[in-house]
Amino acid sequence: MPQKIVAANWKMNLNFQEANALISEVTNILKDEKRNNSEVIFAVPFVYIHYLSNFLKNSSFAIGAQNCSEYEKGAYTGEISAQMLASVGAKWVIVGHSERRLYYLETHRMIAEKIQRALQAGLKVIFCCGESLEIRNKNEHIVYVQNQLEGSLSELSAEQIRNLVIAYEPVWAIGTGRNATADQAQEMHALIRIYLKKKFGDEIAQNTSILYGGSVNAQNAQSLFACPDVDGGLVGGASLKAREFAEIVKTYN
């Protein structure tokens, strides 16, 4: 069985005080919630990782980053390496988010390198994929997402892929309030699982978590999470509201 995961992606939001207040409130609401084979992750801005991972020490919540460098170390002014993230307590890192592909021109190859660096540093990876509205309207979304998977995951070993989860996030659903329907999500998740089976075998395919992301909220979480191939969610906007995010986690439990 894949692990169930609900991950918050705070993006570039909240100052330090607001970040502390939010994480305290969410974890407080969820402190008595029993979770079975499920994980709650907060992917927070780099500068809060050290403090918040200490805050969550000995809890059942994990801290993640939203990006890492494709290089191991060296003269890359302004960059943050996967090893640095691990050394301040991050357990996870999001790689290949559509905002990074679009605004920072990340390519399949760069994303593949980032995944290697992250896994080498002992981080687990949330690898994002998903098509734009234009691609979907042309009915090319299946081939497009397959290319994203092939472009960045094909060199991984079966051992490595055990430390990676996939987030299917259609770009047209991110931050728009227009989520994919349960049928649309299920169709793509099933195809991703078929890709994993072909590439890495049945056991890996059956055990890899595939998350849905794109306008997940407390209202639609139930129908999305009920899909057989949806193993959780990557939540942006709704993760900035303590009650709403806690509600999403509870829905899943």
Which residues of the chain form contacts with ligand PGA (CB under 6 A)? 9, 169, 174-175, 213-216, 234-238
Quick one: CA dihedral 135, 149, 8, 81, positive or negative? negative
Nearer to ligand PGA, 64 or 214 (CB): 214
> Which residue in the shown chain puts its C-beta closest to ligand PGA?
236
Phi-psi region of 164 (alpha: psi -120 to 50; beta: other; left: phi over 0): beta
How many residues are given for the chain? 253
> 203 — phi, psi (to 5°)?
-60, -45
Shortest Å, Cβ 7 to ligand PGA: 8
Shortest Å, Cβ 135 to ligand PGA: 17
Active-site residue 189, yes or no?
A: no
Catalytic residue among 113, 131, 169, 244: 169
Shortest Å, Cβ 91 to ligand PGA: 18
Shortest Å, Cβ 99 to ligand PGA: 7
b vs e for 210-226, b when ≥16 Cβ sit within 10 Å of the residue's Cβ? Answer: bbbbbbbbbebbeebbe
Nearer to ligand PGA, 2 or 64 (CB): 64
Quick one: CA dihedral 12, 65, 234, 105, positive or negative? positive
The interaxial angle of helices 242-252 and 16-30, nearest 10 deg, is 40
Nearer to ligand PGA, 127 or 200 (CB): 127
Nearer to ligand PGA, 164 or 235 (CB): 235
Active-site residue 141, yes or no?
A: no
Separation of alpha carbons 136 and 145, rounded Å? 10
Catalytic residue among 97, 113, 189, 244: 97
| Residues tagged active-site | 97, 169
